[in-house]
Amino acid sequence: MADPKGFLTHDRELPARRPVDVRIRDWREVYEDFPKPALTKQAARCMDCGIPFCHNGCPLGNLIPEWNDLVYRDDWREAIERLHATNNFPEFTGRLCPAPCEAACVLGINSDPVAIKRVEVEIIDRAFSEGWVTPQPPEAKTGKRVAVVGSGPAGLAAAQQLTRAGHDVVVFERADRIGGLLRYGIPEFKMEKRHVDRRLEQMEAEGTEFRTGVNVGADVTVAELREEFDAIVLAGGATAWRDLAVPGRDLKGVYQAMEYLPPANRDMAASPISAEGRHVVVIGGGDTGADCIGTAIRQGAASVTQLEIMPQPPAARPDSQPWPTYPMLFKMESAHEELEAGAGDRVYAVSTTEFLGDEDGNVRALRLVEVEGPANGFRQVPGSEREIPAELVTLAMGFVGPEKGPLLTGLAALASRDFFDPRGNVARGTSYETAVDGVFAAGDMGRGQSLIVWAIAEGRSAAAAVDEYLTGRTALPVAIPPTARSLV
Ligand SMILES: Cc1cc2nc3c(=O)[nH]c(=O)nc-3n(C[C@H](O)[C@H](O)[C@H](O)COP(=O)(O)OP(=O)(O)OC[C@H]3O[C@@H](n4cnc5c(N)ncnc54)[C@H](O)[C@@H]3O)c2cc1C
Ligand code: SF4
C-alpha cells in the first residue's frame, strides 16, 4: 500500500484545463501538465483494497493498486510493465476513457475516488518520453496469416497481440489513415493524433502490416480474404448512424456527426464543413455531441446549442445508481465548459420536430418542443414549441450497429447459423468466433456502440481465441468474454 494515510490526508486533484479563451484558439489537448509531487499524492490516496473493485470496473482488469503503489515509490519503469500487462494502449484510455474504474473505486463510497486515469496517462507518457516503449517482435514465427479488418482500438489491440504471438498480421482499413474513431472521430483537443502515430510506429516495427484505402468486401472480396489468410478478425466498428426522420432533414447544412467530425480532424485549419460564423445546433447530449461542440467553437461558430431529449441528469449519484455502478451524471466536459463560457447553451428535455430552410435549400432554423421524459413516453408539452436559429446542424444520436455492406452480407451468406444477433451486431460464440469458420469479431462490430476500453479488451481477448484456433493453444490473456457488460 502506497501510503496508509494517503486517502485521509490528500484530496482528489486533477490537472487544470488551459483557460477557455486560450485553448479555443488552438486544437491542442486542453489539460495543463500535472506536477510530479501532485501526482504522487494522488497515487498515495489508493487504499490497496483487499477486494479492489476498480479491477472489476475496468474491462481490462487493469492492476490499478499495483501501479498506484509503484508510482508512489517512484518506480515508473515497473509501473509501465504492470500497466502494459493488461492494456496495449494506456495513452488512449488514459486520455479518453470515462473511467468506470473510478466509478467503482472503493474510496468513492464516501469520498472522491482515486484519480486512476490521471495516474495511468502519466505512467505511459513518461514511459514514451524515457524511451521505455520499444518494439516487442516475436521470438519465433508461426507461419500463419491473420487479416484484421478495421484499425480502431479493437483491431489494433488484436493485431498487436497476434503479431507478438508470431503470426503474420495484416490490418485492412478503408480510410486513408489508420486509427478508426481514434483518428477521425475523436478530435485533437481530446487526444492529439501524435499519440496514435507513435504507437503505430511501434506496431510496424514489431511486424504488423497496415494496408489503408482498402474497403474489404469491395476492393478485396470475402473469398480472396479467406483464400489468403488462415483467420480473420472483424473489427469494423458500429458505424451505421441513427438518423432523425423529421421534415427538412434533407436541407443543406444538416449533417451526421461522423460526416462533420472526420473532415475537421483531417484538416483542422480548413475543413470543407466549417461552423465559422454560423449558428450551430448539436442534436444529442453525449460524448459525440461534445466533440461537435468543441470542434464548432474552435472553427469560430457564432453560437452553439446542444439539444438532448432526456432530462438533465443529476449532479451526484442518485439512489437508483449506487456504487459501484457507472452513474449517468451531469458532465462538464471541456467542450461544455467552453459552451458555457459564452458560446452557447445546453437544452434538456426537448425534441426536434422540423428543420426550416431558406429559399436556397439551406437550413436556417430548427423547431423544437419540450417533452416530459421517458417515464411519460416523451409526451410533448402543449404550447412549448419554439424556433431557434440553426445554420449548421449535427446529428449526434448514436449508432445502430455495424454497416451491412458487402463484407458482412458476403460472410452472412456463408454462415452455418445466424450471422447477426437480435440487435443487428455480428453474433459471437464464447470465443469471439462468428458463424463462419475462422472468422472472429471484436469491438463495436460485435458489441454495438461502446467505448475504447471495451474495444481494447475485446481485441485482446479475440486475439487469444484466434491464436488458439491457429495453433491449438495460447498463452495470450483473455480480458473478458464477449458477453461481459458494464456495471450499470
Ligand atoms: C465522435 C466519437 C467520439 C468518441 N469518444 C469516445 C471517448 O472519448 N472515449 C471512449 O471510450 N469512446 C469514445 N467513442 C467510442 C469509441 O470511439 C468506440 O467505441 C471505439 O472506437 C470502437 O472501436 P472499434 O475498434 O470497435 O471500431 P472503430 O474505432 O469504429 O474502428 C472501425 C474501423 O473499421 C473500418 N472499417 C469498417 N468496415 C471496413 C471494411 N469493410 N474494410 C476496411 N475497413 C473497415 C472503419 O473505417 C474504422 O476505421 C467515441 C465515438 C465517437 C463516434
Ligand atoms: S478501489 Fe480505489 S482505493 Fe481500492 S485499490 Fe482500487 S483504486 Fe485503490
Tell me the average confidence (pLDDT) per consecutive run of 10 residues in the chain, 488 residues long: 87 96 97 95 96 93 95 97 98 96 95 97 98 98 98 98 98 98 97 98 98 98 96 98 97 98 93 97 96 97 97 93 92 95 93 98 98 93 97 97 97 95 97 98 97 98 98 97 89
Residues of 37-76 as b/e, b for ≥16 C-beta within 10 angstroms?
ebbbbbbbbbbeeeebbbbebbbbbbbbbbbbbbbbeeeb
Output the pLDDT for position 416. 85
Residue 69 Cα to ligand 1 midpoint, Å, equals 33
Ligand 1 pocket test, candidate residues 58, 176, 186, most atoms within 8 A of CB: 186
Output the pLDDT for position 25. 96
* Residue 62, all three cell numbers: 487493469
H-run or E-run covering 202: helix 194-206
Output the pLDDT for position 447. 97
pLDDT 10s digits, 183-227: 999 999 999 999 999 999 999 999 999 999 999 999 999 999 999
- Ligand 2 atom closest to Cα of residue 104: 1
Ligand 1 close to Cβ of residue 456 (< 6 A): no
Report if pTM > 0.85: yes
Can you tell me the distance from the alpha carbon of 420 to that of 234, in angstroms, rounded to the nearest whole number? 13
Residue 180 Cα to ligand 1 midpoint, Å, equals 5
Output the pLDDT for position 130. 98
Output the pLDDT for position 105. 97
Ligand 1 close to Cβ of residue 291 (< 6 A): yes
Cα separations in angstroms, 407 against 53, 56, 209, 227, 432: 40, 35, 20, 15, 18
Can you tell me the distance from the alpha carbon of 28 to that of 30, in angstroms, rounded to the nearest whole number? 6
Can you tell me the distance from the alpha carbon of 158 to that of 208, in angstroms, rounded to the nearest whole number? 11
Nearest to 264 by CA among 231, 247, 288: 288
| Cis geometry, peptide bond prior to residue 314 (ω within 30 degrees of 0) | no
Residue 67 Cα to ligand 2 midpoint, Å, equals 11
- 3 alpha carbon, closest ligand: 2
